[in-house]
Structure 1
Amino acid sequence: MDNPTATAAVEKSAIRKISIRLVPFVALMFFINYLDRTAIGFAGPNGMSDDLGLSAAQFGFASGVFFIGYILLEVPSNLALHRFGARKWLSRIMVSWGIVALLFTWVGSFEHLAILRFILGVAEAGFFPGAILFLSLWVPAKHRGKILALFYLAQPLTNVIGAPLAGWLMTHDGIFFGLEGWRFMFFGVALPAIIVGVIAWFYLADKPSEAKWLTQEERTWLTGALQKERTATEAVNTKAHGKGGLKVAFSSGRVWVLSGIYFGFIYGLYALGFFLPTIIGGFEARFDVTYDVFQRGLITAIPYIPAALVLFLWSRDASRRGLKTWHIALPAVLGGVSIPLALFADSPELTIAIIAVTASAIFAALPNFWTLPTQFLTGAAAAAGVALINTIGNLAGFAAPYVTGALSDLTGGTYTVPMFVVGGFMLLSAVLMIGLSRRGRVSASNVPSADEIAH
């Protein structure tokens, strides 16, 4: 297509269709994914911990052991997605975890809970990096920030919508075969995973050339633009590392540093996600107030409303300016400083306001962060690299809840020391990001130069 005006119109139309038809559905899958993996955080302080006799450390271990199963199969799962196609593999993952999530309805002890959480991690392995890789393979680099931001909105919205939903489900104690409210909640949030997983098999397409909802001109432009980027990146990687996708991913220093950066953000995300309902439950004794289960769900949702707005605006700014180091480092600093400060607030309102700053900081950085790996990795290297970063980062998914719970037990049930640890890991992410930038290993724009990639 030689006419620049016509090409620009086709480009705009193609990206708009992907944003409207594809991204919301994958975001819905992510919404259900995050709700199912964090449902334990709602159940714990609302009957489950008491019914199963869980200590804070046991609750933290059960929350975090999910990630052991998750990381064991993360890279193999993403390579399987690259081989068999996203449509089949993401659908298979979703139905599998939905079936496992349903079994939480009948959990009877700490041991059963821990085993099911481990199996849930195995079932979910590969979904998130697979979804990131899938969306990245649909749009050229300059549009990825916008697309991933729209996708990532599902995560804070899971708390905005999911927390009150979980609270509402837990109010229906005994309504379904005499199940306690927290058991009915597990049942209610598991079924959508199975249903949407089946729909995904028929709804998704593996690549633009297979999308019947795009015009021929749009398919041709997307395929050509993506192939041009892949060819340029593969040439640079071959020159720098030789052939072999896995070697490129596992031998890249940038991949390992990005893994460390992601570890800090995930440590903050899951410490907040799993223990925020518990901390809010502690308001009753600390501030002499009383909340019912549904009200706790609403309060849990509050910090994530501004987080969703900040995520969208911050990502849009990064797309307009070109991604800068401070788009990732500054939120890490704000999150690292704010989360310990919440412990010294003298009212529920101020505590939630400070936690909202922390949540906003984490979600502002994450979609921008995920534009980085696919700037210098393609094909099997991209599948392995994205999975490796997510795997190392998600070690924090195990460490954060377990260490938070164990430190809380050791310090008399308080969360002062655990939250300072959370802040420290987020500050480490900022330091690593700045160091990576100063060494010239991350581009200041969405499209790095060949010289920068070769490093």
Structure 2
Amino acid sequence: MPLEASTPSAELARLSRKALWRIMPLAGGLGLVAFLDRLSIAFAGPMGMNEDLGLSATMFGFVVGIFTIGYVLFEVPTAGLATKAGTRRWVMQILAVWGTLQCILAFSPNVEVMAVLRFLLGAAEAGFTPTIYYFITTWFVRSYRPLAFVIYGTSIGLSSILGPLVATSIVNAGNALPFAASFPGWRMLLLLLGVLALVSILPASRGLIATPHDAKWLTPPEQDSYASLLAADAEDANIGHQSISQTIRDWRPWVIGLGFFALNYASYTIQVWTPTVVLGFETQFGTTFNSYQSALLSGIPVLVGATYAVFVARVAGRTGNSGVLIVGSAVLGAVGCLWTVVAGNPILLLMALAMVSMAGQSGVLYMPLVSRVFSGASAYSAIAIVNSMGAFAAFVSPIITGWVIDVTGNTNAGFIFIAALLGVGAVIGFVTQRLAWRTERRSNGAPGVDDGVAPPAGAAAVVPVDVPGAASAEGDKVTS
């Protein structure tokens, strides 16, 4: 499909940008709060928690990882509840439950109680990210979804950069308080992050708006215009509906989820192992960095990856080729993995790690493809399946990569394994793009975007990425 045929109108571009500025800072901020809560134990552990509770490395790893088990087990089953309750109400309920559990976690007397609370915290938070992803699909036409998804993913990525700084500041401040002996800084960290989730209920209640007609930041003519543009895009997509149970039995979300798993595996590995690689520069290259310099160097691959993800998202929005960009990014990341094996100095090694991070952070481009294949309640459940498989990568990537490093005695084998996994992600990215093209051809009854054929004369321009089926009168409720 020619590029000019998919270029949004000036009115659509203006209103979509306005929605991006109003919707995505809140969505991204809520995502940042969620991931800070997830990582809170990882920060608290070495800052006094492990010593106070007598946690071994194995016990600490179990407490960290059991969150993901609860998250993965409950993410898909909550799909029906989320689509019936509505985005705003469901997110507010999730914030209330997980914020309360996080606060209680701060008072854990032993590892057993902490493990149970972490599992419950994962179960409570399970529906949050897919609900936000689904919310994005209801607010943006197909050409703007890749950028919106990447903005959300980039906001989450900031947790790995801001997290250590926030955690260190809170723990140090807590340890300086008069009652630090009975309530040390690491407990204060867990408590304040729980309070932050509870406080976030207020902006969520005001900002997670169901429809353009509820948006006070749009004038009445803009409300009508944007609602019409969203409805026209949904009608143009014309994706068939299926029930949640049918979606769970469908092979497509599971295959797409495997691709998302592959790219997320690379992303989480970079976040977890880059500090270790940087600390190894002294042994490997004879360089010396203080802790502050090492922290800054460790953040470079993540920042490069985030910048790249925003760039490819804009390209995906203009062309509709999210899958093709996933393929290119995965191949780039695989090359970066292999480059880490032969890099001869710290600069080249950081460049190689940045290439892997670029691939990992491009994984979120799978989400706009999901919304081109599924709609309505099936879109939410498909997103939940894909996201849960991506989240599972957070659990297994440190374990598998660490095991490979332990067995081989170096990080080379670990990165070679990631290169192979990114190869799988590239293949699935291509398959998913083909699925999206095929769905669009079938639903439109006309040549698809992969045919290189312009729409017939007089036909409406097809925006390259899609919106789910029409919502109910309340805007964010969909029946299954």
Which of 401, 418, 436 is 1:422 aligned to? 418
> Could you tell me the TM-score, scaled by structure 1's length?
0.82
Separation of aligned partners in 1, 2:59 and 2:280? 18
Determine which of 352, 359, 362 is the counterpart of 1:361. Answer: 359
Supply the AA of the counterpart residue of 1:245.
S
Amino acid at match of 1:130: T
Matches of 1:124 and 1:256 in 2, distance apart? 21
In the aligned structure 1, how far is the partner of 2:209 from the partner of 2:388? 26
Q: Which stretch shows the higher mean deviation, 387-396 or 162-171?
A: 162-171
Q: Which residue does 2:147 correspond to in 1?
A: 146
Q: Is the 8 A contact 2:12 2:229 kept in 1?
A: no
* Percent sequence identity over aligned pairs: 28
* SS of match in other structure, 2:95: helix
Q: 2:197 maps to which residue?
A: 193
Contact map agreement 1:164 1:301 (CA 8 A) in 2? no
**Cα offset for 1:42?**
3.6
Alpha-carbon distance between aligned partners in 2 of 1:224 and 1:184, rounded to the nearest angstrom: 48
- How far, CA to CA, are the matches of 1:275 and 1:168 in structure 2? 23
Query: CA distance change for structure 1 residues 444 and 166 in 2, over 3 Å: closer, same or farther?
Result: farther
Q: Pick which of 217-226 and 19-28 moved more.
A: 217-226
Could you tell me which residue of structure 2 aligns to residue 156 of structure 1?
157
Contact 2:343/2:349, CA 8 A, preserved across alignment: yes
Compare 159-168 and 376-385 and name the one that shifted more: 159-168
Aligned AA for 1:450?
N
Candidates 373, 378, 388, aligned match of 2:375 = 378
- AA partner of residue 436 (structure 2): V
The number of equivalent residue pairs is 436
Aligned to 2:317: 319
Q: How does 1:334-353 map to 2 (within 5 A)?
A: 334-339=332-337, 341-342=339-340, 345=343, 349-353=347-351
For the 8 Å contact 2:36–2:193, the answer to whether it is kept is: yes
1:441 aligned onto 2:435: yes
Change (3 A) 1:120 1:153: same
Distance 1:214 1:119, change over 3 A: same
Report the 3-state secondary structure (helix = DSSP H, G, I; strand = E; otherwise coil) of the residue aligned with 1:370: helix
Counterpart of 2:454 in structure 1 is none
Distance 1:338 1:304 in 2: 14
Check 1:114–1:356 CA distance in 2 against 1; reply closer, same or farther (3 A cut).
Answer: farther
Choose which of 203, 219, 229 in structure 2 pairs with 1:215. 219
Kindly report the root-mean-square deviation, in angstroms, between the aligned alpha carbons of the 2 structures: 3.4
Relative to structure 2, which stretch is displaced further, 256-265 or 157-166? Answer: 157-166
In structure 2, C-alpha distance between the alignment counterparts of 1:282 and 1:57, rounded to whole Å: 23
Q: 1:302: which partner in 2?
A: 300
d(CA) in 2 for partners of 1:280, 1:89: 41
How many angstroms does 1:154 deviate by?
A: 0.5
The equivalent residue for 1:254 is 252
Alignment partner of 1:392 is 2:392: no
Alignment correspondent of 2:37: 36
CA distance in 1, matches of 2:271, 2:367: 20
- The 3 A distance-change label for structure 1 pair 411 and 188 is farther
Aligned counterparts of 2:402 and 2:381: Cα–Cα separation in 1? 32
- 1:281 and 1:101 map into 2 onto residues whose CA distance is 32
Q: Are the equivalent residues in 2 in contact too, given 1:69–1:125 (CA < 8 A)?
A: yes
- Specify the SS of the correspondent of 2:368: coil
- What SS does the aligned partner of 1:140 have? coil
1:76: which partner in 2? 77
CA distance in 1 between counterparts of 2:345 and 2:171 reads 26
Letter matched to residue 215 of structure 1: T
Q: Find the aligned partners of 2:48 and 2:342 in 1 and give their Cα distance.
A: 28
Q: What letter is aligned with 1:426?
A: L
By how many angstroms is 1:90 displaced? 1.0
C-alpha contact 1:61 1:401 (8 A) present in aligned 2: no
Deviations 1:54-98 (A, max 9, x none): 555544443332121112221233332221111111122123222
Shift of 1:416: 4.5
Gapped regions of structure 2 (runs ≥ 5):
1-7, 450-480
Q: 1:206 to 1:153 in 2, by over 3 A?
A: same
Q: 1:279 to 1:47 in 2, by over 3 A?
A: farther
Q: Which among 328, 331, 338 is matched to residue 330 of structure 1? A: 328
**Counterpart position of 1:206:** 210
Task: Give, in angstroms, the shift of residue 312 of structure 1.
Answer: 1.5
Contact 1:442 1:448 in 2 (8 A): no
